[in-house]
Amino acid sequence: MYDEKGKGASARVLVAEDEAVVAKLLNKILTREGYEVELAVNGQEAMDKAASFKPDLIIMDIDMPKLNGYEAAAKIKESPELKDIPIVFLSGKAPNEDGGRAFCSGGLTYVCKPFTNWQITDLVNLTLQAVGKV
């Protein structure tokens, strides 16, 4: 399902990122693609917003205050209403440092910072297509 410009349809993406510059960049990239974006600044807020916003995809930073990304993802995956939402982890650490833990806590894939705009748009578009949301 795509809009008239051929970009992403109105799928919902929750971005959980405590670095304001990175959160704003992700918001800009994703809204330009036509996605509805909600931002959370910590793991607890990510859990709360996931429950109310009902995103089609979550981009989750790993190192965040209150609850880290692993903890927030694990709690989200415990919820029957939220457990099927794909979670993409975002981290400044290499996948060999954090990748296994990311997958064990419910993550679908892992993106390293710094990232490019096309990495994010391709990953989000492909993930949402794979789960039938666009």
Number of structural domains the chain divides into: 1
Judge whether 33 and 5 are in contact, CB under 8 Å.
no
Return d(Cα 88, Cα 73) in angstroms, integer.
Answer: 10
Let me know if residue 94 belongs to a domain.
Answer: yes
| pTM of the full structure | 0.88
pLDDT of residue 112: 86
Could you list the residue range(s) of the whole structural domain that residue 88 is in? 12-130
- Of 12-26, 61-75, 94-108, the least confident: 94-108
Return d(Cα 11, Cα 32) in angstroms, integer.
Answer: 13
- The token duo for 133 is 């949301």
pLDDT of residue 6: 42
Let me know if residue 2 belongs to a domain.
Answer: no
DSSP per-residue codes, 90-114: EESS-HHHHHHHHHHTT-SEEEESS
Let me know if residue 7 belongs to a domain.
Answer: no
For residue 44, give the CATH number of its domain: 3.40.50.2300
Cis peptide before 95 (omega within 30 of 0): no
